[in-house]
Amino acid sequence: MTQSRFFSSRSATRSSADSFSRGLVGYAFAAAATLTLAGLLVFFWAPQDADQGMRQKIFYLHVPLSIAALCGFIAGGVMAIQYLRTRDSSWDLRSYVAIHLSLIFGVAALITGAIWAKTAWGVWWEWKEPTLVSFLIVFLLYAVYQPMRFAIDDPERQARSAAVYAIICGAFVPLNFMAVRLATSLVHPRVLGGAGEMPAEMRVSFYTSLIGMGLLWMALWKFELTAKSVSMRLGKLRAELIS
Amino acid sequence: MNESKETPGLFAAAGAILRKDLRLELRTMETLTTAAIFTVATFVVFHFAFDRYEMSGDIAAGVFWVTVLFAAVLAINRLLSNERAQGGYEALLLAPIDRNAILFAKFAFLFVTLTLLEIFALLAFALLLLGPALSTEMLPLAPVLLLANIGIAAIGTLISALATDTNARELLVPLMSLPLLTPLLIGAARASTPLMSLVPHTEHLDRWLGLMALYDSVFALLAFAVFEYVIED
Amino acid sequence: MTAAIATLAALPIAADTGGGYVAAAYAVFVALLLVYIGIMAAKLVRLQRGLGDLQERTRKPGDDA
């Protein structure tokens, strides 16, 4: 019975379970359309970068992935605040799935970042790129979220501690970026930033990719929330039938 | 317990817990001795790892702050688990006091422990490895230590409260602390580098102190805002 | 095999513009997405099994009656 409280009774009610899946199909198709469009724009419309040539195309993948992951992390913190305020465990579930999903986006961002470092600077890791370094630190911090969460037995306490941790980490993200930026010698040319100086075609392609990635994040988030709530409702139904 | 209807004030309660902790620490010297031995052992390890008799500048600052950081993790690990092991934690939660009294007391205790530990570590470091002799030129280290300690104490109290509920405390405390303390390490190590160079001087000191002060204030406020949720029962 | 890799590396496109790296980056993205779908598929199968099990349980009393 205590176990089924993490799979909370309130989040398993029909109304909130339905709200998880609301818009899921729309997001999924919007993400598919936007990402396809973005791919076409990136490879057939945006001009080749004068200095970097083809390899600059990783930018359209790596940066939206990182931004989606970071926004997801911060959104997870905001949902955690919402949980602490309302004690509605559906917010805990939302926060958990947001952080979990952003971690996966983070893995993709780190791998594509390493590939970019390799093609741009000839090394798999570049300490002089503050954004990449900050991202690794943030990733390491969030990687502890799940182990911490599941090292707590009591489901209610688990939700509370996880929420507090998510809030601490959410506040950490911007401060950490500032600290690492300060620590990196500013002599190094910035390659990942400076979207303002790009030609219009590049900028449009980039923003299309960014929107597509955001829609993909939303779609996967709703997808996983729906899957989790369905399996919780099933578990609850089984518990009711057996008892 | 007296029969007065009023519960003890926030600071009275915090002071009582702090006094209890300090007295306990003075009698057993549990955290301080282990952390002190740890710092000396770490300096010995660094001597062999780098094969150096003396260090200065960025290497010295790095070795000193990494050692302090790991010693701090040891102290964070002990901060609330001692209470828990002896049943004091439940008693604290049952006491009719503001939960923030626990935060303030533990924060202050960790701050005092860290300060004492760093004074010892700095002396040991100067004796064993540091190239330039301790001088008044190194006095700007004092605000660096102060700001580092405030930050470590605020984050450490939060983490220790979070980790004490888990069944993998020893593992989770370092995993959670190291990334969270990295910005402080950046500030402290960068500020200490010129101070520990062969001709001690200050360079960009205000920038690093500013960074640490900002970090400290955000996490002190955050600890104040969320602590009651961590230990609520 | 090594000869093939050597020819690949010698290709002017791959060497000059890092097209191979771009392909690798996008492949990583697609692969991760597919792995995610795979994991969700495994969960779906488990869900289906749970539902089937539940269906069995609910049918039995009816059969007895």
B114-146 pLDDT, tens digit per residue, is 999 999 999 999 999 888 888 888 888 999 999
Whether residue A1 is predicted with pLDDT greater than 60 in this model: the reply is no
Candidate from A41-45, A169-173, A212-216, B212-216 with smallest mean pLDDT? A41-45
Match 């309130």 to its residue by tokens.
A10
Whether residue B58 is predicted with pLDDT greater than 70 in this model: the reply is yes
Q: Count CB atoms within 10 A of the CB of residue B223.
A: 25
Whether B168 sits inside 8 A of A165 (CB atoms) is: no
Q: Round to whole Å and give the CA distance between A75 and B174.
A: 25
Which residue on chain B is closest to A151 by alpha carbon? B166
Whether residue A68 is predicted with pLDDT greater than 90 in this model: the reply is yes
A138-197 pLDDT, tens digit per residue, is 999 999 999 999 999 888 999 999 999 999 999 999 999 888 888 876 544 455 555 556
| DSSP string of chain B, one letter each residue | ----SSPPPHHHHHHHHHHHHHHHHHHH-HHHHHHHHHHHHHHHHHHHHHT-S-B-HHHHHHHHHHHHHHHHHHHHHHHTHHHHHTTHHHHHHHSSS-HHHHHHHHHHHHHHHHHHHHHHHHHHHHHHTBSSPP-GGGTTHHHHHHHHHHHHHHHHHHHHHHHHTSS-HHHHHHHHHHHHHHHHHHHHHHHHHHHTSSS---SSHHHHHHHHHHHHHHHHHHHHHHHHHHH--
DSSP label at residue A53: B
Closest to A66 (Cα-Cα) out of A55, A58, A76, A77: A58
In a domain, C56, yes or no: yes
Whether residue B1 is predicted with pLDDT greater than 90 in this model: the reply is no
Q: What's the token pair of residue B187?
A: 């500030």
Which of A182, A184, A185, A186 to probe the B interface (max B CBs under 10 A)? Answer: A182
Q: Round to whole Å and give the CA distance between B163 and B80.
A: 9
Q: Round to whole Å and give the CA distance between B147 and B209.
A: 7
Express as a percent the part of chain C with pLDDT over 70: 65
| pLDDT for position B3 | 47
In a domain, C13, yes or no: no
Interval C31-37 mean pLDDT: 92
How far the first Cα of chain A sits from its last, in Å, is 10
State how far the alpha carbon of A112 is from the alpha carbons of A31, A221, C28, in Å. 20, 22, 7
Whether A182 sits inside 8 A of B186 (CB atoms) is: yes
Would you state the CATH architecture of domain A17-186+195-242? Up-down Bundle (1.20)
Closest to A27 (Cα-Cα) out of A202, A204, A207, A224: A224
How distant is the alpha carbon of residue B139 from its chain centre?
A: 20
Nearest CA distance, C25 vs chain A (angstrom):
5
Whether residue B195 is predicted with pLDDT greater than 60 in this model: the reply is yes
Asked if B175 reaches chain A (Cβ–Cβ under 8 Å), the answer is yes
Rg (CA), chain C: 25
Whether residue C9 is predicted with pLDDT greater than 70 in this model: the reply is no
Q: What is the mean pLDDT of chain A?
A: 85
How far the first Cα of chain B sits from its last, in Å, is 22
Asked if B26 reaches chain A (Cβ–Cβ under 8 Å), the answer is no
Q: Which residues of A touch B170 (CB under 8 A)?
A: none
DSSP label at residue A1: -
Express as a percent the part of chain B with pLDDT over 90: 52
Express as a percent the part of chain A with pLDDT over 70: 87
Say if the ipTM goes beyond 0.90: no
| pLDDT for position B154 | 95
Ordered by start, the domain boundaries in chain A are 17-186+195-242
Candidate from A10-14, A18-22, A120-124, C29-33 with smallest mean pLDDT? A10-14
B64-93 pLDDT, tens digit per residue, is 999 999 999 999 998 887 777 777 787 888
In a domain, C54, yes or no: yes
Backbone angles phi, psi at B80, to 5 degrees: -105, -15
Which residue on chain A is closest to C51 by alpha carbon? A234
Number of domains, chain C: 1
Interval A222-228 mean pLDDT: 91
Higher pLDDT, A61 or A188: A61
Q: Which residues of A touch B207 (CB under 8 A)?
A: 182
Interface size, chain A vs chain B, as Cβ–Cβ contacts under 8 Å: 84
Domain that holds residue C48: 24-65
Confidence class for position A15, pLDDT limits 50, 70, 90: low
Count of residues for chain B?
Answer: 233
A91-141 pLDDT, tens digit per residue, is 999 999 999 999 999 999 999 999 988 888 888 888 888 888 899 999 999
| pLDDT for position A13 | 52
Q: Which chains touch A (3 or more CB pairs under 8 A)?
A: B, C
Interval B83-107 mean pLDDT: 82
How distant is the alpha carbon of residue A139 from its chain centre?
A: 10
* Chains B and A are in contact, defined as 3 or more C-beta pairs closer than 8 angstroms: yes
Whether A176 sits inside 8 A of B183 (CB atoms) is: yes
Asked if B221 reaches chain A (Cβ–Cβ under 8 Å), the answer is no
